Amino acid sequence: MLKGRRKSANQNLITISTLDSRLRGDIKWNKLKFIDEYRDKEASLKYSSLINDITTKKWNIMEVCGGQTHSIVKFGIDELLPEGVNLIHGPGCPVCVTSLELIDKSIEIASRENVIFCSFGDMLRVPGSKKDLLQVKAEGGDVRMMYSPLDALKIARENPDKEVVFFAVGFETTAPANAMAVYQAKAQGLKNFSILVSHVLVPPAMEAILSSKSNLVQGFLAAGHVCAVMGYNEYFPLAEKYKVPIVVTGFEPLDILQGIYMCIKQLEEGRHEVENQYARVVNREGNQSAMNIVSTVFKVGTRKWRGIGEIPDSGLVLQDDYIDYDASLKFGLAEMTVEEPKECISGIILQGLKKPHECEAFGKICTPEHPLGATMVSNEGACAAYYRYRKV
């Protein structure tokens, strides 16, 4: 479930980001079951024809999560849909929505002496204003790729004379593990550990899209992994206020097809309810212990989204009790502000107002090797997914 992209169908999925590396060696991983079952051709075609049968109008449906976007283009799911059904790729890729300002802060911190800067892998290639973290590494910075923030904590324990900073990126999915790292750091009295917080929340982003005058979205596939942590109580007021169906959806081809089916069925019948397609993983109340650790360490605050701008109450910031673990404050960067470049239309892409290939830079001056904006960098970014699987 690393940054919401472990799109496996396994009910007993163990998320790497929640495991301490010391524990991992003791766990015997059972075979991951039920992968092929959710990628079954016959069943997919059956759903495709069911969708065709019930669709009488044109509909714009947004899949919120980048993991879903990735699956849609990887498996060519949109090819199985009726012509009028348009999938809009939502803002649910944490790498893509992390503001340029935070990337520049990460680069600034990672470039300093005596710092070990730890991050999930795909943040390393996200371009800042001048360079990316990989470049900092090449210039001699100690930048390390991790699967878990708890590994960064271990590094902090082993290197008491260094400042260890973890780039805490992600939606609600990575928040529990990041919260746990900070919680443990405090409990263990570790003073040389901090996190650069870049946490964003899904429901405020959905509301920002719905309340926009240019909004095209008529129904949502909500992000299954986010809901696995948070449940889906938050979506009922949204569905009611904006009269949109919201279907909590998984990540395998059959999940997505079923989610689309459920969403279109509501639209065709004039309903706007919250439904749960991903019931084998998600329940309405969410994961209580995960939510507890998140609310112990974090509180809701304003967050700047790349390409979209500031959205009130759309992110997580550290609680006052944990403010000593805020890398932005610790390194004196709280006041740093950076403007986004003009050429990249990732903000428009993220709101679903344009498709990646409708951008003039797409595939020409902007490629996964030389990304202009974050949507081209991350595996889950809509531009990268289009480039990799489509090459229009």
Partner 1 sequence: MDSSLHSEFTLQCPIPISEYPNVLLAHGGGGKLMHTLISKMFSTAFTNDILLQEHDSAQIELPVSKIAFTTDSYVVKPLFFPGSDIGALAVNGTVNDLAMSGAKPLYLSLGLIIEEGFAMEDLWRVVQSISMAAKAAGVKIATGDTKVVDKGKGDGIFVNTSGVGVIEHNLKISPKSIQPGDVIILNGDLGRHGIAIMAEREGLEFEHKILSDCAPLNGIVKEIIDAGINVHCLRDLTRGGLSSTLNELVQTAGIEITIDETSVPVHEDVQGACEILGFDPMYVANEGKFIAIVPAADAEKCLNIMLAHGYGKESAIIGSVSDGEAIVKLKSRIGTMRILDMLSGEQLPRIC
- Contact pattern for partner 1 over residues 83 through 122, marking x by CB under 8 A: ----------------------------------------
Min dist. Cβ of residue 370 to partner 1 (A): 10
**Interaction residues for partner 1, span 233-292 (CB under 8 A):** 253
**Segment interacting with partner 1 (CB under 8 A) among 179-187, 188-196, 226-234, 381-389:** 381-389
Rounded CA gap, 200 and 238, in Å? 18
Q: Which residue in this structure is represented by tokens 């403010």? A: 323
Question: Is 162 a residue that touches partner 1 (CB under 8 A)?
Answer: no
For position 141 contacting partner 1 by CB under 8 A, the verdict is no
Question: Residue 216, interface with partner 1 (CB under 8 A)?
Answer: no
The single-letter DSSP state of residue 324 is G
Is 8 or 99 the residue whose CB approaches partner 1 more closely? 8
Inter-residue contact 233 to 205 (CB < 8 Å):
no
Task: Please choose, out of 106-114, 290-298, 320-328, 361-369, the segment that lies near partner 1 by the rule CB under 8 A.
Answer: 361-369
Among 55, 98, 375, 379, binds partner 1 (CB under 8 A): 379
The residue type found at 292 is: N
Member of 11, 30, 288, 337 binding partner 1 (CB under 8 A)? 30
The whole-angstrom separation of Cα 385 and Cα 54 is: 29
Using CA atoms, how far residue 135 sits from 129, 150, 334, in Å, is: 12, 25, 23
Q: Is 361 in the site for partner 1 (CB under 8 A)?
A: no
Question: Is 68 among the residues that bind partner 1 (CB under 8 A)?
Answer: no
Smallest separation, CB 147 to partner 1 (Å): 6
Residues 6 or more apart in contact with residue 167 via CB below 8 angstroms: 106, 117, 118, 119, 120, 123, 195, 196, 198
DSSP symbol at 330: H
How many C-beta atoms lie closer than 10 Å to residue 56's C-beta?
Answer: 11
187 is a site residue for partner 1 (CB under 8 A): no
Name which of residues 294 to 353 contact partner 1 (CB under 8 A). Answer: none
Kind and range of the H or E run holding 88: strand 85-92
Q: Which residue has the tokens 């030389």?
A: 370
**214 binds partner 1 per the rule CB under 8 A:** no
User: Looking at 67-75, 174-182, 204-212, 281-289, which segment touches partner 1 (CB under 8 A)?
Assistant: 67-75
Helix (H) or strand (E) holding 276: strand 274-276
Q: Residue 28 and residue 25: Cα distance in Å, rounded?
A: 8
d(C-alpha 62, C-alpha 66), whole Å: 11
Does 44 engage in binding with partner 1 (CB under 8 A)? yes
Q: Which is nearer to partner 1, 6 or 299 (CB)?
A: 6
Q: Which of 18, 50, 74, 273 binds partner 1 (CB under 8 A)?
A: 74
18 scored as a contact of partner 1 (CB under 8 A): no
Which long-range contacts (C-beta less than 8 Å, at least 24 apart) are formed by 334-338?
A: 336/101, 336/104, 336/105, 336/108, 337/101, 338/99, 338/100, 338/101, 338/104, 338/129
Interface positions with partner 1 (CB under 8 A): 2, 5-8, 10, 13-14, 16, 21, 24-32, 35-36, 39-41, 44-45, 73-77, 79-80, 125, 145, 147, 253, 367-369, 379, 384, 387-391
